[in-house]
Amino acid sequence: MSTRTDGRRLRGDRTRRTVLDSAVQEASVRGLDALSFGALAASAPVNKSAVAGLFGSKENLQLATVERATEIYAEHVIVPARSAERGLARLWALVLAWTEYSRSRVFRGGCFFRTVEVEFDMREGVVRDAVVAAQQSWESYLVHQGQLAVDAGELAADTDPAQVAFEINALLNAANDRSLLLGDDGVYRRALAAARSLLAAHGADRAVLG
């Protein structure tokens, strides 16, 4: 009985992952509100009742989709940057990893979180809270690496890490949005040049910035 139960659980986990991998791609293009059990059943493909059984409600599906997108984001942005030394080198590695994540269309619609944060920015509820938490986690990580760079003397002592993180985020988000709207891959090069100049203006060694 235990073996049979474990087998069902494994199949259920695989089905759930298959559905969510489809959901994050769909939501990156059309938003979380566009998700439905029927559409995901067709694209996964999985029986509609099985999808409903896995998530129970559309809100639960949306929350699970944000969670899966967060995992994918970490795999492509956070984890690759960990090989760099903490501080300025890792901050720059995060910028490069984020650029590649957006440019390579890990999510079909560009950055998943750019799509859903606009969709939920004026709403209330647990889905918005999940989107906010994911964004705050990313931004606080940038701020932390900036602060480490200041503490190590890699950035000027009067540098505000929160301001630097805000400006870097603005540049990356602009590149993502304009690449989608205009089909212009060159915006990534311009965003990197602007981020490089920003950090250099705060005392960063350009040799570290590549």
Interval 49-62 mean pLDDT: 92
**Per-residue tokens: 93:** 């590695």
Q: List helix spans (H) across the chain.
A: 2-30, 37-43, 48-55, 58-73, 79-81, 88-103, 112-120, 126-151, 161-182, 186-201
At residue 13, the pLDDT reads 76
Give backbone dihedrals phi and psi of 206, rounded to 5 degrees, phi first: -60, -25
Interval 57-81 mean pLDDT: 98
pTM: 0.91
CA angle 28, 33, 34 (to 5 degrees): 70
Average pLDDT, the chain: 94
At residue 12, the pLDDT reads 64
At residue 15, the pLDDT reads 86
* 186-197 confidence digits (pLDDT tens): 999 999 999 999
At residue 1, the pLDDT reads 54
Distances (CA, A) of 153 to 46, 114, 157, 163: 54, 33, 7, 17
